[in-house]
Amino acid sequence: MSIAIVTGGASGIGRAIATALVARGDTVVVTDINAEGAEKVADKLNTLGKGKATSAHLDVTDAGAVADLYKGVRTDHGHIDLVFNNAGIGIGGLAEELTLDHWDRAIDINLKGVVHGVHAAYPIMLEQGHGHIVNTASLAGLVPMPIGIPYTATKHAVVGLSLGLRAEAAGRGVKVSVVCPSFVDTPLLHNINPGLPETTLSGDATADISKASPRFYTAEKLAVDILRGVDKNQALIVAPAHARAAWRGVRLNPGAAVRVAQMAVNRIRSGK
C-alpha cells in the first residue's frame, strides 16, 4: 500500500488519479483549493471498499502551506511514496491580448505550484530513501501550442524541471516522471482565464480547441496511462497515441510543427 498526495484532486485529472490509486488499495490525500470539492471526492472514494482517502484544502501558490501539508502527511503515515503535483490552470488568448496578470497566474500555479510541491516532497523522499514525484505538464510542454503561450511556457518549464530533477534523483532512490497529455476533457477546458481579463479563448474553449484538435481524451483513461507509466518508471508519460505521434513529429521536423500550429491559429481566427 502506497501513501500518495494528489494536488488539484477535486476534479479532472487529479480526481481520476486519486480514484485509480484508491481503487488499487492505496491511501490518498486529495488536496485542492476547492476544499469542499476535495472533501466530496474523498468521501466518495471511501465507499469503494479498497484504499482510503482523506482531503485537505491546499493552495499550491502558498509554499508554506504546501510544505506544512507534506510534512504533516509524512508525520501521520511515516512516509510518502507518491506525489502528484497536478494542480493547474488554463490560460488562453493571443499574445497581444494577454496581460501580465495572465502570465503571473500561469507562472504562479502551473510552474511555481509544481516547484513548491517538489521543494516540499524531495527532501522527505531523499531522507526516507525512496519515493516517486509525478508532475503534470502537457503535450503543450513538448510541442508549439499557440493562443495560450503562458500555459505553453509553464508546461515546457515543468518538463525541463522534471527531467533535470530525474537525473539528479536517479542515484538516490527517488524517481521522477512528467505527464504530457493531449487535450483532456476536464473542467480546465471549460474555464479558461478564470477571474482574468477576457481574450479570444476565455471561458469554455472546447469548441475553439476542437477546430485544432477534435479528439479529446478522458481523464479516466489518462489515469490508467499515468499509473502504468509510474509503475514502469517512465521519464515522460505522453498520452494518448496521437499525442505521441505529434511529439514525434516535432522532434523530426520542428519547422513543420510550427507551420501546423499556425494553421490551427488561422482556423480559430477565422471562426471556421
Q: Catalytic residue positions?
A: 151
Which value, in Å, is the radius of gyration of the alpha carbons in the chain? 18
> In the chain, what is the straight-line distance between the N-terminal and C-terminal CA atoms, in Å?
50
The identity of residue 175, as a single letter, is K
Q: Contact, 89 vs 109, CB < 8 A? A: yes
Q: Give me the residue label for grid cell 485509480.
A: 20
The identity of residue 267, as a single letter, is R
Chain centre distance of CA 73: 21
101-106, long-range: CB within 8 Å, 24+ apart, which pairs?
Answer: 101/196, 101/197, 102/150, 102/193, 102/196, 102/197, 102/199, 103/150, 105/150, 105/196, 106/150, 106/151, 106/153, 106/154
